[in-house]
Amino acid sequence: QEKNNTGVDAIQEVFAAQKFYDATRALVISTSPFTKPALELAHKIGVECWAGGLLLKELYKQQFFYPPG
């Protein structure tokens, strides 16, 4: 695992929070790449993994703000 990559610990923390707060959705957003084990775990337990760029695309798509230029 690379030092700056997002690992299984982040997936586990978000999954635990989802259960604790009875949330209907669990999502990890990171500007670092996800490790392969983190993505595999997320897929198995239903946690969404977004790269930071995907967040910006979704914000633009939902018209929360407009891209520059």
Q: What is the pLDDT of residues 1-46, one digit of tens each?
A: 567 899 999 999 999 999 999 999 999 999 899 999 999 999 999 9
CA separation for the pair 37, 23 (Å, rounded): 23
Confidence of residue 65 (pLDDT cuts 50, 70, 90): low
Question: What does the block give as tokens for 58?
Answer: 């979704």
CA separation for the pair 18, 23 (Å, rounded): 5
CA separation for the pair 32, 43 (Å, rounded): 18
- pLDDT at residue 24, rounded to an integer: 97
